Amino acid sequence: MQHFPIFVNLRGERVALSGGGEAALAKLRLLLKTEAEIHVYAEAPHADLEALAESGKLTLHRRAARAGDFAQTRLAYGANEDHAEDTRIKALAEAEGALVNIVDDLHNSQFITPAIVDRDPVTVAIGTEGAAPVLARAIKRDLEERLPASLGLLTRIGKAFRAAADALPMGKTRRDFWADYYFNEGPKALAKGEDNAREALDALLARHLAQAPEPGEVAFVGAGPGDPELLTLAARRALDEAETIIHDGLVSPAILELARREALMIDVSKRGFGRSTPQEAINALIVDHALKGEKVVRLKGGDPAIYGRLDEELEALAPHGIATRILPGITAASAAAAAIGQSLTKRGRNTELRFLTGHDTQGFTEQDWHALARPGSVAAIYMAKKGARFLQGRLMMHGASPATDVTVVENASRPDTRVLHTTLAALPETTEGLSGPAVLLYGLAPRDAAAQLQLKAAQ
Ligand code: SAH
């Protein structure tokens, strides 16, 4: 981001503009919306400029700008449509400490004016760093249509009521009140007139004050394998509305970025709390926040119902009567299968698909090795990095072919995805150098690899 958007307070501040033609008038149309003290320098001002000066909206100096004109000036505009004159203005204004904008000259400007959607006090500024004015205009048009003209008035009425609304407890209760005003009651009442909207606020406040604070709720949300595009719409909404987000280390930073800015983020990953946050401590944390009446999101990598210790957390909440819901996510196996272009089930190959874990809290896990060793069986194996040698030993002991395909997919769906195609015989060596989360697709080879092998055989 080369240009950082900010809103500058121009109330009573001096703004100087050099130029008396169309470009100057175009800039003034925007500047006149502010409460700045505007000075215009033009040897031959446009008639409209004379009119603006007469009505007292600005001070017109019927001469070229000179040294001293930009002292104590916040913003200076060069709108002469004349390169030499604008260059002179830039030097003058810069020397006197003003921030300079030369109309239609990005290179010589210290700041640029965005496209503006004005529903004062709601102002939307759109910038493209000068790269795509057409795009900026299209976005502006779109927003102009979408934001009702009454939004400004609605907001001004709301603003005047802020002190009264402070009677509501801070946090969710107060936010709910404002959401009710802006999205339900306010627009309805305003349609019947301005006074109506003010009265509606009084009634609305009384109603919200009477309501006891709602009990909290916990949403168990699947964050998917890492790519934010793979979040469900429901997960997006939950992240938008959450007051507290308790997340695992597996959840990618790109997804955490999407959370509500004010949300309290609690990391319960292995990295966050020394060695590891004990499950009991996580349970207690969720219960504590929910009992305070907060909207809690328990954010888990992949799908919360797959190796996510979901039941333990649900059971911890149950005695407290806290409402819960589960929003499923895309599990790592699905993302890994997508990365290698394969289906997890296939007619004639496997009618059954297994999800296994390499280890659990007790150590390496025993499985139905006999069934897994049969040709054509497919399994997605989670948390198998450490247990690769154990897996290999057990499977071969039960008759699995050493040549059985295994594909290791590390960081599935993330920019640093790695696909390592190997065989059961070479599996332990393959998993040795992995640092990110990895899922093993037992019985599957990448579709590309198969094509490449055939190609080699044909040559
Ligand atoms: N609930 C998660 C699994 C949690 S167990 C899910 O549904 O995906 C943690 C294991 O998931 C990791 O050890 C790894 O095997 C796997 N995993 C999670 N995210 C992954 C990713 N982006 N790529 C590959 N494996 C991943």
Protein fold of 333-458 = 3.30.950
Write down the H helix ranges in 75-185.
83-95, 133-146, 151-160, 162-165, 172-180
Q: Rounded distance, CA 342 to CA 350, Å?
A: 13
- Give the residue from 350, 340, 310, 343 showing the smallest Cα distance to 327: 310
Shared fold status for 217-330 and 333-458: no
Task: Give the C-alpha distances (Å, rounded to integers) separating 180 from 147, 174, 204.
Answer: 17, 10, 8
Residues forming the active site: 248, 270
417 CA closest ligand 1 atom index: 23
Per-domain boundaries in the chain:
14-113, 151-210, 217-330, 333-458
Nearest CA to ligand 1 atom 4: 307
- Give the residue from 135, 137, 29, 138 showing the smallest Cα distance to 79: 29
- Specify the CATH architecture of the domain 217-330: 3-Layer(aba) Sandwich (3.40)
Q: Tell me which CATH code domain 14-113 carries.
A: 3.40.50.720
pLDDT given for residue 55 in this prediction: 95
**In sequence order, which residues have a C-beta less than 8 Å from that of residue 11 and are 6 or more positions away?**
34, 35, 36
Nearest CA to ligand 1 atom 9: 383
pLDDT given for residue 76 in this prediction: 97
pLDDT given for residue 244 in this prediction: 96
**Segments in the chain below pLDDT 70:** 169-171, 212-215, 270-275, 449-459
Q: Are 187 and 148 in contact (CB under 8 A)?
A: yes
Instruction: Judge if the beta carbon of residue 412 lies within 6 A of ligand 1.
Output: yes
Nearest CA to ligand 1 atom 25: 438
Percent of residues in the chain assigned helix, strand, coil, to nearest 5: 40, 20, 40
| The amino acid at 286 | I
pLDDT given for residue 402 in this prediction: 97
Whole-number Å distance, alpha carbon 308 to ligand 1 midpoint, is 10
379 pairs with which residues across the strands? 354, 442
Whole-number Å distance, alpha carbon 297 to ligand 1 midpoint, is 19
Whether cis (ω within 30° of 0) applies to the bond prior to 225 is no
pLDDT given for residue 214 in this prediction: 63
pLDDT given for residue 273 in this prediction: 40
Q: Determine how many CB atoms are found less than 10 A away from the CB of residue 315.
A: 10
Test site for ligand 1: of 408, 439, 444, most ligand atoms within 8 A of the Cβ:
439
pLDDT given for residue 238 in this prediction: 96
Instruction: Judge if the beta carbon of residue 220 lies within 6 A of ligand 1.
Output: no
